[in-house]
A = this chain, B = another copy of it.
């Protein structure tokens, strides 16, 4: 995987990366304080009478939470050591790095479910919901004279790009981007860290105390990774994949039509990179992605800018708009494309507020952006790992569509 740093201010970017590494480094202390300690304190607060009511293994299971947090921390420490080496950070100066926020720290807990989802054998069936559909699409498209170029925005830890390389063989190049440094850090470790199959055991569910049938299922460990990336790389003479850092619209969007914002910068460098990507992609795959941003139209315009005429947009996921309840605001700007001058500033633009329904998205795509619907499925159930132990945990109901940009 080649990592292209698209961020103009490299020093700021490295500082943010160090803060992210520090959050993983501090995970154990944070998880103990937030998830173990209040439960121990709660137990301590009970009367002797109620303590005696609890199951005999109650304290043992509580202690297991602590010990599994420690195991997760072992995985994270190796990830930090590996990524710090890649990025040339000296861990001796760790105490001088900027402190992570509570939000950064919470991500170190929640992202373990993402690792489990992408890199455990238990979730193969769930990954197949999308992969089997993409396989059918590739069969449908058939052999082309040129290599296929596939773009996967917001790829998370990156398993999908590996699976796509394997699925499409040497006939495709897979490009992706990721905005979250937490995702990128683990991606660097899992894709480039030369990990053995099942080298680590992680405990993704120990921070969630609802919906369990048995504590043993909450405490269950999962081996990762279930795939040997380096031998896949060797046997295939290198996987044709490339990862870009930054927001989707910034990396791949059009130079006209999107307003300048925290997600889209107007610099000569970015303008050039965006111009290069125009009409260069055969398939864009948005997987649990289109509901993640402040402005879904920016995403749709970016997809349309990047696709070749005749190219396909494949979408899978629910419409769970991440910012639906976010009260924050930002300033967006309309910028003169000739002078690069900001001509209109719109302060107090809510991050939330543009939550389109499925049929609205498809209406825009077909009536305004020149797509034709080839396939639409709605209400496809997809949990976070369909293993038997999670029968109580509600999942998502997903859309799957394939639409084609007309020539």
Contact = CB atoms under 8 A, between A and B. Distances in A.
Interface of A: 38-39, 41-47, 49-50, 52-55, 58, 208-215, 217-218, 257, 259, 291, 295, 297, 300-301, 318-321, 324, 332, 334, 346, 348-350, 352-355, 357-360, 363-364, 367-369, 378-379, 391-397, 399
A393 B52 CA distance: 41
A353 B42 CA distance: 6
Given A321-B210, A357-B214, A394 B394 contact: yes
B54 A257 contact: no
Contacts of A379: 391-392
Nearest to A42: B353
A379 B47 CA distance: 33
B363 A391 contact: no
B318 A350 contact: no
A49 to B, nearest CB: 5
A46 B354 CA distance: 10
Contacts of A53: 297, 300-301, 364, 368-369
A18 B218 CA distance: 43
A352 B396 contact: no
Contact of A45 (B55, B208, B349): B349
A70 B97 CA distance: 52
A393 B397 CA distance: 7
B392 A378 contact: yes
A87 to B, nearest CB: 33
A294 to B, nearest CB: 9
B320 A211 contact: yes
What 6 A-B pairs have minimum CB-CB distances, sorted nearest first? Answer: A42-B353, A209-B355, A212-B357, A45-B349, A38-B350, A39-B353
